[in-house]
Amino acid sequence: MQSVGIYEAKTRFSALIELVEQGEEVRITRHGKEVVRMLPVRRRPVISDEQIARELEQISALQATVQAPAATDSAADLRRTGRSQA
2-21: pLDDT as tens digits = 999 999 999 999 999 999 99
Coil vs helix vs strand at 13: helix
Question: What is the H or E stretch that residue 30 is in?
Answer: strand 26-30
- Domain 1-63: which topology? YefM-like fold (3.40.1620)
pTM for the predicted model, two decimal places: 0.48
Residue 63 reports pLDDT greater than 70 = yes
Coil vs helix vs strand at 59: helix
Task: Give Dmax over CA atoms of the chain in angstroms.
Answer: 79
Q: Comparing C-alpha atoms, which of 70, 54, 71, 50 is closest to residue 62?
A: 54
